[in-house]
Amino acid sequence: MKKIRKSTGLTIALLIYVSATAAYFLPRNTEIEQAEKYITVVASYVIVLLLWLVLRKKEQLQQKRWDEERRN
């Protein structure tokens, strides 16, 4: 069984959270406009995507350092 990376697991959890929150609260919220609702959800997805990219880069740098230490 393939191990799920920490960056991927956290990203999946956040995507599920953002999607569930949006599905539950946005239809009930009548105080803001539809466009604002969608912009908020899209911005949340963009933030999660950026977090995933940063975490992946951090994991790659850690792996590279670990490999270099192992060689020495």
C-alpha distance across the termini of the chain, in Å: 31
Predicted pLDDT of residue 1: 74
The residue ranges of every structural domain in the chain are 6-71
As a whole number of angstroms, the distance between CA 62 and CA 56 comes to 10
3-state DSSP call for residue 33? coil
Q: pLDDT at residue 37 above 80?
A: yes
Q: Is the pTM of this model over 0.75?
A: yes
Predicted pLDDT of residue 42: 95
Per DSSP, the chain holds a count of helices (H) and strands (E) of: 2, 0
As a whole number of angstroms, the distance between CA 49 and CA 56 comes to 11
As a whole number of angstroms, the distance between CA 72 and CA 59 comes to 20
